[in-house]
Amino acid sequence: MKTILVLAAVVTLLVLAACADDDDWPAGTGDPRISQIGGVAEAATYAYAATRGEGLLDYLEANIAANCTKEDIKRALAEEPVPTGFKTIKDVKFDGDDRATATVVVITADGDREAEWSFIREGDDSWRIVEIPSLSEEDCAAQ
């Protein structure tokens, strides 16, 4: 009986969390945008790791993606250590509702590496990368 009550309480909490919209999150805590940005950073890191950078194209802001080729990206990132995994994001700062910066912590062969990445919102809850070290719109244009 005790197990059923605990299970019912957990299910109730999960249902309430799933039904919550963005306005239900208190400012500065549990902001769903942070999870969205973290998801993009993690997926982009593993794409970067698997393809030596060219996989990032799918996670770049539309204008940057339109102006960067896979070869541009590989060239721009040639001197950067290739991540082997994703650890976390921290210090997320929002500039309005549609721009953010975050410290992204990736795992490399030489240990953890922290770098500031910039993001922009595209649509209601989709975020894309605007800049990471050695790769921005200007880096592709300069190639």
- Whether residue 102 lies inside any domain: the answer is yes
- Whether residue 80 lies inside any domain: the answer is yes
Per residue in 69-78, pLDDT (tens digit) is: 888 888 888 8
Structure pTM?
0.75
Provide the residue range defining the domain that includes 86. 32-142
- Whether residue 21 lies inside any domain: the answer is no
Instruction: Tell me what percent of the residues of the chain surpass a pLDDT of 70.
Output: 78
Per residue in 18-67, pLDDT (tens digit) is: 434 443 333 444 789 999 999 999 999 999 999 988 889 999 999 888 88
The enclosing domain of 130 has a CATH number of: 3.10.450
DSSP string, 85-140: EEEEEEEEEEETTTEEEEEEEEEETTEEEEEEEEEEEETTTEEEEEEBTTBSHHHH
Q: How many domains does the chain have?
A: 1
